[in-house]
Amino acid sequence: MSTAERTVGVEEEYLLADPVDGAARPDAPRVLGVLAAGRGESELHREQVETGSAPHTSLAGLRADLLARRRELAAAAAGGPGGSALPGGSLLLALGTHPGGGEPTLSAGPRYERLRERFGLLAREQLTCGCHVHVGVADRDEGAAVLDRLRPWAPVLLALSANSPFWEGVDTGHASYRSRVWDRWPTAGPSAAVGDAAGYDALVRRLLATGVPLDAGMVYFDVRLSARYPTVEVRVADVCLRLDDAVLLAGLVRALADTAAAEHRAGRPPLDVGVEVLRLASWRAAVDGVDGDLVHPLTGTPRPAAQVVGDLVEHVAGALARNGDEDAVRAGVAAVLERGTGARWQRSAVAAGGVPAMLRRAARLTLDEAERG
């Protein structure tokens, strides 16, 4: 697969909240009921909804697709014509966690019931919203090669997306607390290198043989071979408050896949980074985001986030140039490093006006609208 042919798509999860007091609202059944088929999906809890873009070969096309879907969902959530709010409507929020917390409401369906029965409080607590980037691969063996070479960079992608500093009304001291909550699932987090598709399938079979996961769909690796599409799925990121940050992630993931596939064809082995080190790298990324140090994939030692992110961009610079994405990605990275991620913005907004006001401002940013006031 040439770089010009490699597609990229994004799935995003969003919170639903009361526009007045900001409380999470179990509004997904109503919202999904007014959308056209395929334009939105339910998630584990009724306080959240999900949508996914089509596959795209241009970042501009991806951005337009995601923006249209965010605005369509927001209009359905608000309940009024053209997205105007009605008393029973909800805000659509691209936030990794709800800052106020509360007890979420399980969505209907036998699979959700099985998750609750098997995993108890762990499942009940999972009101979290992520961003999943799908990048096309020629076949599953190429997908495994991409997975092995992309996995050391996954914590850097988490740092760039960090957008969940609050949990149950408390500032957690983390930029991405969502990732810490999500990693409570027994199959979540980094995986070992697999070598090829047969190695990946053997790993999944070993996990399923334990009887712990319900099925293969519950293999929640940070980077995995998609069970539904001919893609590698990168699942490590928080949902991004700003649309441009989601597009930035997509551009970086595609460039990482291009670079990995080229290294595989050239016979270059992946970096030898163990799961134990990747877990520590993810923890550091979750705590600091881009505002502190990250574990550098090439050295396994802490380095300033700006340096590690810069080295990621240089690692994939050739692929970015071939895809026509270099200017956009470099500008996107510079913007995140200068203004910070959604986590920094949330803290500042809560300090300025409290949680309900922050959520109303976040709803505008979710829709790529300028902040007012």
Each residue's pLDDT tens digit, 222-243: 999 998 889 999 999 999 999 9
DSSP one-letter code for 83: G
pLDDT at 282 over 70: yes
Task: Give the per-residue pLDDT at 83.
Answer: 47
Q: What is the mean pLDDT of residues 88-117?
A: 92
Sign of the C-alpha dihedral computed for residues 279, 247, 373 and 48 taken in this order: negative
Sign of torsion over alpha carbons 143, 147, 153, 157: positive
Question: For residues 12 and 246, is the Cβ–Cβ distance under 8 A?
Answer: yes
CA geometry: angle at 106 spanning 101 and 112, to 5°?
Answer: 130
Strand partners, 49: 14, 42
- The two tokens of residue 101 are 């917390």
Range with the poorest average pLDDT among 6-20, 82-96, 105-119, 202-216: 82-96
Helix spans in 9-124 (H):
28-33, 59-78, 110-119, 121-124
Residue carrying structure tokens 């951005």: 63
- Amino acid present at 198: A
- Answer yes or no: is pLDDT of 286 > 90: yes
pLDDT band for 86, please (50, 70, 90 cuts): low
CA 38 to chain centre: 20
Q: Does residue 305 contact residue 159 with C-beta atoms inside 8 Å?
A: yes
Q: Does residue 82 register a pLDDT over 50?
A: no
How many helices (H) and strands (E) the chain has is answered by 15, 11
Residue 79 has pLDDT above 90, yes or no: no
36 pLDDT exceeds 90? Answer: no
**What pTM was estimated for this model as a whole?**
0.95
Buried b (16+ CB within 10 A) or exposed e, 314-324: ebbeebbebbe
Q: What is the pLDDT of residue 50?
A: 96
Q: What CA dihedral angle connects 148, 196, 255 and 216, to 10 degrees?
A: -80
- How confident is the prediction for the chain on average, in pLDDT? 94
pLDDT value at 360 more than 70: yes
- pLDDT category at 372 given cuts 50, 70, 90 is low
Instruction: Give yes or no for a contact between 194 and 149, defined as CB atoms under 8 angstroms apart.
Output: no
**Contact, 221 vs 344, CB < 8 A?**
no
Q: Give all domains of the chain, ordered by start, each with its CATH number.
A: 3-366 (3.30.590.20)
User: Is residue 361 helix, strand or coil?
Assistant: helix
- pLDDT for the residue numbered 39: 87
Q: What percent of the chain is modeled with pLDDT above 70? A: 96
3-state SS, residue 233: strand
Question: With contact defined as beta carbons under 8 Å apart, do 95 and 342 qualify?
Answer: yes
Contacts of 147 (CB under 8 A, 6+ apart): 191, 193, 194, 200, 223, 224, 225, 232
Whether residue 182 contacts residue 170, with contact meaning beta carbons closer than 8 Å, is answered with no
Higher pLDDT, 115 or 373: 115
Upper half-sphere CA count for residue 74 (Cβ side, 13 Å) = 23
Please tell me the distance from the alpha carbon of residue 305 to that of residue 160, in angstroms, as a whole number: 9
- How far apart CA 199 and CA 205 sit, in angstroms, is 10
* Chain segment 295-335, per-residue pLDDT in tens: 999 999 999 999 999 999 999 999 999 999 999 999 999 99
| Tens digits of residue pLDDT in 150-164 | 999 999 999 999 999
Instruction: Please report which confidence band the pLDDT of residue 103 belongs to, taking 50, 70 and 90 as the band edges.
Output: confident
pLDDT at 371: 72
pLDDT of residue 102: 81
pLDDT over 60 at 199, yes or no = yes
Task: Answer yes or no: are the C-beta atoms of 205 and 213 closer than 8 Å.
Answer: no
